[in-house]
Amino acid sequence: MRLKAIKIGGYTAPNNVFLAPLAGYTNCVFRHMCSSLGAGLTFTEMVSAKGLCYDSRNTRELLALYPGDDGIRAVQIFGGEPEYMRRAAQSAELAPFDIIDINMGCPVPKIFKNGEGSALMADIPRAQAIVRAVAASGKPVTVKFRTGLDGKHLITRDFALAMQDAGAALVTIHGRTRDKIYSGAVAFDEIAAAKSALSIPVIANGGVFSLGEAEELMGRTGADGIAVARAAMYDPFIFCALTGRPMPDKKSVIAEQIAKTFELFDERFAVVYMRKMLAFYTKGVPGAAEMRRSLFTCADRRDIEQALNRIPI
């Protein structure tokens, strides 16, 4: 994997292997863990601009920061109206963040029907107005989007250029159309066409579950870096493999994740969240199905810690 620093506005990520935003998973503890394993930049899960404007408690909880973490702080927000996006970007809640990423790729029907996420790919002028509105915060703005809404409407290069023209400092391109969700082949040529046209960094996303797949994505697209998404949920230690960091004791790292999750979040959330994470971590281990069934009987921190001890990783 060809590693290099990535400049985003006035900030420089130490390497070009990023953790993509993952709704429901990339809380501050998980982000900190992935950074410690080698991720050059991590993002919050996506946060509603309207939720921020209306002072939603649930929205604020998504913005929790890891104590003492002095790395680059990147937040992802979503919305379909420039004014709400501007207000969110300039809000006190986002003041601690250095970089603001805009989600223009979420394929979820509820988001799409609201004219948010990937729906913005069908309205380039509005997408540009949103980038300009967020850039009014004075912070570097990045945009994550897909290759188009479907195979008949591939607009990767044109959309990427429009985002650059509107003031984006970096783009992340998920190499699939909205209708493919997370399945199907990654369109390397689409990402490559955008990369050849842009002067800002291009991060490629999609289909990376191993070092070989990361190298193929980089090689076939010419991208400046990659963003790892679902693979990190199953195996956060992929960042060691991609960046050449020594592999730590896995159980010790996960035990720390458990401890910090219970320390920083309420017990109900921590139990449910860590049950899901440990279920992901059982992927590929002998007896995984039975382990997952037993995980969902865990009721407290002690049960979660005992479950970790039973996983052969």
Residues acting as catalytic residues = 106
Separation between Cα atoms, residue 214 and residue 204, nearest integer Å:
9
**What would the 3-class secondary structure string for 236-280 be?**
CCHHHHHHCCCCCCHHHHHHHHHHHHHHHCCHHHHHHHHHHHHHH
| Closest listed residue to residue 281, CA positions, set 301, 64, 273 | 273
Strand locations in the chain (E): 6-8, 11-13, 17-19, 41-42, 47-48, 74-78, 99-104, 141-146, 170-174, 202-205, 225-228
Q: How many residues does the chain have?
A: 313
- 78: which strand partners? 48
- Alpha helix ranges (H) inside 41-176: 49-53, 57-61, 82-89, 109-113, 124-135, 156-166
What lies within 8 Å, CB to CB, of 195 at 6+ separation is 202, 221, 222, 223, 224
Separation between Cα atoms, residue 186 and residue 41, nearest integer Å:
22
Separation between Cα atoms, residue 78 and residue 145, nearest integer Å:
12
Q: 2: which DSSP letter?
A: -
